[in-house]
Amino acid sequence: MKGVRKNVSESIESLKALARELRKDILKMTTEAGSGHPSSSMSAVEVVTALYFGGFLKFDGKNPKAADRDRFILSKGHAAPVLYAALAHKGVFPHEELMTLRKFGSRLEGHPNMLRLAGIEASTGSLGQGLSVGVGYALAARLAKNGSHTYVMTGDGELGQGQIWEAAASAGKYQLDNLTCIVDRNGYQQTGSALDVLNMDPIDGKFAAFGWATQVINGNDLEEVIDALKRAKATKGRPTCIVSLTKKGFGMLKLLSKLKDENFHGKPMPAKHLEEALAEVEAGLG
């Protein structure tokens, strides 16, 4: 099967190459689907690549229901393509199935549906709910004493949901050091700049106030992401929030600039621009 990877540390260069593959998958599948959120998916690629292929997530694509596995919850469910691309490369399903995204009968629905596809740890798409589910997983792992770690990725616009802060407070109360929340701070939400729509800064300060360890990193820099995940894993006695500063549509920023659409929210790359987008991703300049 094409592209099946072992869950072991690989060299940075091969991880970067894989990140480029995920970006190309995201672009191709959303253009084929004719809808979706490629730019929201592309900002998160380095974090997802590091988690699944950098030796962090204890997750076997051939045994995706193992009881003691680590969990990754994509709370920003509209970025489903990045999750599907990672699961395909983990061998959960055939790579060519990515092209069924959003089609009737496909396991790859517009937003993740855990009933349809193993490897999806929470059905998401109504924003704000994934971190609470992550707290539940982390509590269950503590009861089971199985060492499972749960990673949750939220968006930055998603932080407007009050439930996020209910969950943050409860994770602080239970000192869940087996829980890591990564905020994909790509700076944009549906109608514009996240800071303009509803300013939730300082994000790290808010999580810190609820008893979390916090880090602020360049989330499109794989080395920084890997270092941050190592620190999160080593942190004891409290959960970690990684504020991952990213660019929406990272990998095709030149094209988005040319198209005068830095946000590029909730739409696929038109077929006429796809080759240019893929070439820019392959060049790997950001």
Partner 1 sequence: MAGASSSVKSSRPLGKATRDAFGRALEALGESYGKLVVVDADVGNSTRTEWFGLKYPDRFFNVGIAESNQVGVAAGLAAAGHTALVSSFAAFIVCNAYDQLRMSVAYPRLNVKVVGSHAGISIGEDGASQMGIEDVSLACSLPGFVVMVPADETSAKAATAAMLAHEGPVYLRVGRPDVPKIYDADAPFTIGKANKLADGKDVTIVANGLMVAPALEAAEALASQGISARVLDMHTVKPIDRDALAAAAKDTGAIVVAEEHLAHGGLGSVVAMNVAEIHPVPIRYVNLHDSFGESGSPEALIEAYGLTAAKVAEAAKAVVAAKKS
Instruction: Note the residues at the interface with partner 1 (CB under 8 A).
Output: 67, 113-115, 121-126, 128-129, 131-141, 143-144, 162-163, 166-167, 169-170, 173-174
Between 124 and 180, name the residue whose CB sits nearer to partner 1.
124
CA 58/CA 37 separation, integer angstroms = 27
Between 141 and 242, name the residue whose CB sits nearer to partner 1.
141
Between 128 and 155, name the residue whose CB sits nearer to partner 1.
128
* Residue 135 Cβ vs partner 1, minimum distance, rounded to whole Å: 5
Token pair for 173: 């109360």
Residue 221 neighbours by CB distance under 10 Å = 16
Contact 128, 75 (CB under 8 A): yes
Q: Please calculate the CA angle 203-129-227 and round it to the nearest 5 degrees.
A: 45
Strands (E), 75-230: 150-155, 179-185, 188-189, 192-193, 213-218
> Between helices 80-89 and 12-33, what is the axis angle to 10°?
120
* DSSP code at position 159: G
* Residue 137 Cβ vs partner 1, minimum distance, rounded to whole Å: 4
Query: Torsion angle of alpha carbons 245, 57, 159, 23, nearest 10°?
Result: 50
Of the candidates 151, 95, 155, the residue with the CA atom closest to the CA atom of residue 125 = 155
Between 168 and 226, name the residue whose CB sits nearer to partner 1.
168
Pairing state between β 240-245 and 150-155: unpaired
* Residue 121 Cβ vs partner 1, minimum distance, rounded to whole Å: 7
Between 36 and 128, name the residue whose CB sits nearer to partner 1.
128
* Residue 72 Cβ vs partner 1, minimum distance, rounded to whole Å: 13
Between 144 and 198, name the residue whose CB sits nearer to partner 1.
144
* Residue 115 Cβ vs partner 1, minimum distance, rounded to whole Å: 6
Strands (E), the chain: 71-74, 150-155, 179-185, 188-189, 192-193, 213-218, 240-245
* Residue 50 Cβ vs partner 1, minimum distance, rounded to whole Å: 23
Between 38 and 134, name the residue whose CB sits nearer to partner 1.
134
Contact 150, 138 (CB under 8 A): yes
Token pair for 170: 């409860």
* Residue 260 Cβ vs partner 1, minimum distance, rounded to whole Å: 35
Between 121 and 156, name the residue whose CB sits nearer to partner 1.
121
Q: In which element (H, E) is residue 196 found?
A: helix 194-197
* Residue 170 Cβ vs partner 1, minimum distance, rounded to whole Å: 4
